[in-house]
Amino acid sequence: MKLYAEVAEQYSDFAAYAADSRCFRDWASRAATDQALLGWIGRLPAIKQQPNLVFAAARWHGVPAPGPYENLREALLCDDGSIRDTILRRSTQTNEVGRLATLAPVFARIARKSGPLSLVEAGASAGLCLYPDRYRYRYEFVQPQRSELWPVGDGPILDARAKGAFSVPTHSFEVSWRGGIDLSPLDVDDDDAMAWLETLVWPEQHERRARLRQAVQIARQEPARIQRGDILTDLPSLIDQAAPHGQVVVFHSAVVAYLEPAARERFDELMRDLVAAGACRWVSNEGKNVLPSITRTGPSIPENHPTFVLGLDGVACAWTHGHGSSLRWLD
């Protein structure tokens, strides 16, 4: 029996998954066959053995990325305890504002009917996605080939490829209130937390890193209230706070996957009940298998097509790229 076989498998799976990072692909595939390194990683608690966390901690302590695997290896094997301590104290977390290019058209649709939006983000992280009104959006169409700019705000441009029956909204929308819930909220004014968030962006993803920095600056101008809480129990009280300020929209992206299957169903029911009671509109953006009741309302998705499904009030309206770089409109 091979020692640390499960860790090796985790790292070789990650190497296959990390198509967007040549460096991480290289690090993960070489770590997967390096018994000494597997031993070092294998002595971490199981939940802390994830490649994303181990690599980010090494980078946090100066290992250059992109850079040679040998540097990573030496840093971990000669660690004086500092890298291990970072791994134990911190966790992986993302906050991807690129997703707003796919969420904003649905916000515009709601606002057209109901006026200013009171946004409540479930699983908000640092709350960077709570500023959809600050960006301009540029959609690239293939047929006929063209690009259209939608200037909702006057901030940075977020790009997405548009497919299917999508037409760029002709109207803007206003956000009158913003708040969120997260199990582990990050404070945009905490330089250390923001630097760690940046370290979690993969090395070659320069665009994502630049977008993150801009998003932090935008959020710092008007910090939203992100409270510590669980989306399964604490949403209704946040909705009550949001309600006096405009049409409440609860939204979430890349969050429900973190719940166990039974809890996902409970969340789905909770949201359907809140919508039925008129407490809010519901914008969901999750992997295709995460909220099957929503995915089922759209066309069937080929098995080999990884996609998020964007939903409004429990009905699929688009297939979206997980980081917001494309959307295929369904109606």
Ligand X SMILES: C[S@@+](CC[C@H](N)C(=O)[O-])C[C@H]1O[C@@H](n2cnc3c(N)ncnc32)[C@H](O)[C@@H]1O
Binding site for ligand X (CB under 6 A): 93-96, 99, 123-125, 129, 181-184, 230-232, 253-255, 258-259
Of residues 165 and 232, the one with the C-beta less far from ligand X: 232
Distance of alpha carbon 292 from alpha carbon 296, whole angstroms: 6
Q: How far is the CB of 218 from ligand X (least distance, A)?
A: 14
SS3 content of the chain, % helix, strand, coil (to 5): 45, 20, 35
Distance of alpha carbon 41 from alpha carbon 73, whole angstroms: 11
Q: How far is the CB of 256 from ligand X (least distance, A)?
A: 8
**Residues sharing a CB contact under 8 Å with residue 89, sequence separation 6 or more, in sequence order:** none
Of residues 120 and 248, the one with the C-beta less far from ligand X: 120
Q: How far is the CB of 266 from ligand X (least distance, A)?
A: 11
3-state secondary structure of 177: strand
Distance of alpha carbon 120 from alpha carbon 143, whole angstroms: 35
Of residues 5 and 257, the one with the C-beta less far from ligand X: 257
Give the residue among 282, 285, 284, 331 at the shortest CA–CA distance from 308: 285
- Give 249's strand partners: 119, 281
Of residues 29 and 94, the one with the C-beta less far from ligand X: 94
Q: How far is the CB of 328 from ligand X (least distance, A)?
A: 19
Nearest to ligand X by Cβ — which residue? Answer: 123
Q: How far is the CB of 100 from ligand X (least distance, A)?
A: 9
- Give 251's strand partners: 121, 283
Of residues 108 and 254, the one with the C-beta less far from ligand X: 254
Q: How far is the CB of 153 from ligand X (least distance, A)?
A: 18
Distance of alpha carbon 47 from alpha carbon 24, whole angstroms: 19
Q: How far is the CB of 160 from ligand X (least distance, A)?
A: 15
Give the residue among 7, 100, 60 at the shortest CA–CA distance from 198: 60
What is the number of other CB atoms lying within 10 angstroms of the CB of residue 251?
30
β-pairing, 315-320 with 146-151? unpaired
Q: How far is the CB of 15 from ligand X (least distance, A)?
A: 21
Q: Is the dihedral of CA 244, 245, 251, 255 positive or negative?
A: negative
Q: Report the interhelical angle of 191-199 vs 51-60 (nearest 10°).
A: 120
Q: Establish how many alpha carbons lie within 13 A of residue 22's alpha carbon, considering only the half-sphere containing its beta carbon.
A: 4
Of residues 34 and 182, the one with the C-beta less far from ligand X: 182
Of residues 252 and 281, the one with the C-beta less far from ligand X: 252
Task: Please state whether 56 falls in left (phi above 0), alpha (psi between -120 and 50) or beta.
Answer: alpha
β-pairing, 247-253 with 117-122? parallel
Of residues 34 and 96, the one with the C-beta less far from ligand X: 96
Of residues 40 and 55, the one with the C-beta less far from ligand X: 55
Q: How far is the CB of 120 from ligand X (least distance, A)?
A: 12
